[in-house]
């Protein structure tokens, strides 16, 4: 999978995309991520990417020209499945959407900043708008990082143990159960006997029951 990120703040991506599982996925060439700096697609002395909104009001709006130039230059090189704009008024990201996007080959993720982007970009270039939750961020960059992370871990081969993905919270419509590792007793707290039993059926029953209990206690809405 290839992901092209379009942003006015490319440095925000340096750390998070160069650690842990995403770093490994890039090394193994299962994932290619390119971050494009909007200022490179400007032609004025000051490399202006934003301007005041028509009609007045606070905040700045990202100008259409650099975004069109950047995205159209990408689209001239390959076909993209979606141009995703990260925005608080988009559809709310769910595991189902992440599953769906993980099957795509080429994605563009466009990050807004300040008051957002000129609406003509949304009308002509954007094919999907995603929010990571009902709260407002300073820009789409952190949202793009969340989206990349949720998608990347689902790309085949990125996480070795495919079965572990299927048991994640939300994948079965349930939250995940408590997990334990060695030692079997720590500061008088014992790991449940069922998990130490070595009996696969007993373990599975315990896990399923605790997924249900946790979902009932924390997220009743998932059970309906």
Q: Interface residues with ligand ADE (CB under 6 A)? A: 86-88, 112, 131-133, 135-137, 140, 143
Region of 81 please: left (phi>0), alpha (psi -120 to 50) or beta. alpha
Contact 167, 134 (CB under 8 A): no
- Closest CB to ligand ADE among residues 129, 213: 129
- CA pair distance 208, 204, nearest whole angstrom: 6
- Closest CB to ligand ADE among residues 19, 89: 89
User: Would strands 50-51 and 61-62 be described as parallel, antiparallel, or unpaired?
Assistant: antiparallel
- CA pair distance 116, 53, nearest whole angstrom: 10
CB 145, min distance to ligand ADE, A: 11
The set of long-range contacts for 115-119, using a CB threshold of 8 Å and a minimum separation of 24, is 115/53, 115/57, 115/58, 115/59, 115/60, 115/61, 116/61, 116/62, 116/87, 117/61, 117/62, 117/64, 117/67, 117/85, 118/61, 118/62, 118/63, 118/64, 118/67
- CA pair distance 60, 9, nearest whole angstrom: 15
H helices within 76-155, ranges in order?
95-101, 119-124, 141-152
CB 107, min distance to ligand ADE, A: 15
- Closest CB to ligand ADE among residues 61, 143: 143
Q: Determine the residue with CB nearest ligand ADE.
A: 143
CB 150, min distance to ligand ADE, A: 13
- Closest CB to ligand ADE among residues 136, 223: 136
CB 12, min distance to ligand ADE, A: 13
CB 121, min distance to ligand ADE, A: 14
- Closest CB to ligand ADE among residues 88, 212: 88
- Closest CB to ligand ADE among residues 24, 142: 142
């Amino acid at each position: 999978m290839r992901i092209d990120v379009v942003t006015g703040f490319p440095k925000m991506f340096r750390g998070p995309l160069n650690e842990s599982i995403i770093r490994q996925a890039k090394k193994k060439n299962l994932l290619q991520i390119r971050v494009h700096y909007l200022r490179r697609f400007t032609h004025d002395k000051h490399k202006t990417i934003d301007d005041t909104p028509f009609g007045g009001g606070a905040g700045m709006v990202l100008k259409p020209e650099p975004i069109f130039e950047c995205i159209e230059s990408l689209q001239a090189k390959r076909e993209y499945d979606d141009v995703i704009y990260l925005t608080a008024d988009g559809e709310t990201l769910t595991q189902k959407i992440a599953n769906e996007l993980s099957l795509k080959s080429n994605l563009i993720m466009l990050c807004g900043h300040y008051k957002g982007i000129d609406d003509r970009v949304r009308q002509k270039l954007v094919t999907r708008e995603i929010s990571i939750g009902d709260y407002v961020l300073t820009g789409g960059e952190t949202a793009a990082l969340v989206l990349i992370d949720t998608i990347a871990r689902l790309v085949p081969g990125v996480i070795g143990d495919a079965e572990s993905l299927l048991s994640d919270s939300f994948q079965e419509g349930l939250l995940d159960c408590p997990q334990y590792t060695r030692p079997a007793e720590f500061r008088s707290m014992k790991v449940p006997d069922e998990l130490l039993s070595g009996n696969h059926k007993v373990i599975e029953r315990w896990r399923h029951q605790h997924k249900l209990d946790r979902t009932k206690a924390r997220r009743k809405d998932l059970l309906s």
